[in-house]
């Protein structure tokens, strides 16, 4: 059984991951076999439904990478289903308040820490009868900080028992700050937001996480982020095929 992300963050490790937008188990497995610490299945903005997400989690399970899912919304029904499918971390979008974060924790954890319903059909086959006793200690609860409301409440959100990391969504957060979507490092409002999230997480003893890329990731590491995506399947496929095509065209 793999060491949980929570344990790795607690020991100070930086974990690097890949992001799946394409609804395909084979591409998820291909990414996961490249040595990433975790691979995320994006059910919010990605193109997959639940059945495909299940197949992608199973494909990631063939590798050492840890399967993570970003759910479409803070809904206990879909959160419970992706956990039952085998996700070992859940990224929850559009968290606005500490109460939103509490609801996310309740959906992710079994009683007495939460209200998750017991029925781990698929993950029970993977992990066996020990799953119930170990799940709360292994599943990472990761609310997103990506709105002005969330930023205003970030200290309270970080302090909610059961929250394991704060995930900065740089695109939506930038839009909320009146900036174009993207990494806006060097813009005071963006830099201040990153610093505030990092400080809130550090003071609460939780990790920070972020959607990133190979160019920005070293900066995020220096800022103390411990869960950093360095590529997406679409970006990697586009860059590699474009580079191959350009290389051949140059030699014609």
Is the CB of residue 87 less than 8 Å from the CB of residue 23? no
Name the catalytic one among 34, 45, 50, 185: 45
b/e map of 236-249 (b: 16 or more CB within 10 Å)? beeeeeeeeeeeee
Is the CB of residue 97 less than 8 Å from the CB of residue 147? no
Active site (annotated) includes residue 45: yes
| DSSP state string for 75-136 | -HHHHHHHHHHT-SEEEE----SHHHHHHHHHHHS-TTT--PPP--HHHHHHHGGGHHHHHH
Which active-site residues does the annotation give? 45
């Amino acid at each position: 059984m793999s060491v949980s992300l929570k344990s790795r963050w607690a020991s100070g490790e930086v974990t690097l991951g890949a992001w799946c937008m394409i609804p395909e188990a084979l591409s998820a497995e291909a990414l996961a076999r490249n040595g990433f610490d975790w691979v995320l299945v994006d059910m919010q903005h990605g193109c997959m439904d639940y059945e495909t997400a299940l197949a992608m989690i199973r494909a990631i399970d063939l590798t050492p990478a840890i399967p993570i899912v970003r759910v479409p919304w803070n809904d206990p029904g879909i959160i419970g289903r992706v956990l039952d499918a085998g996700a070992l971390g859940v990224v929850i979008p559009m968290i606005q308040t500490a109460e939103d974060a509490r609801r996310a924790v309740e959906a992710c954890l079994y009683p007495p820490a939460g209200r998750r319903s017991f029925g781990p059909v698929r993950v029970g086959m993977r992990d066996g009868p020990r799953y119930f006793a170990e799940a709360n200690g292994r599943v990472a609860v990761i609310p997103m900080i990506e709105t002005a409301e969330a930023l205003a409440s970030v200290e309270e959100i970080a302090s909610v028992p059961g929250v394991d990391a704060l995930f900065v969504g740089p695109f939506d957060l930038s839009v909320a700050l009146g900036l174009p979507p993207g990494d806006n490092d060097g813009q005071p409002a963006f830099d201040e937001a990153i610093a505030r999230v990092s400080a809130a997480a550090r003071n609460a003893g939780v990790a920070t996480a972020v959607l990133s890329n190979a160019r920005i990731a070293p900066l995020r590491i220096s800022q103390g982020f411990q869960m950093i995506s360095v590529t997406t399947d679409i970006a990697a496929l586009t860059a590699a095929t474009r580079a191959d095509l350009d290389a051949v065209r140059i030699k014609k």
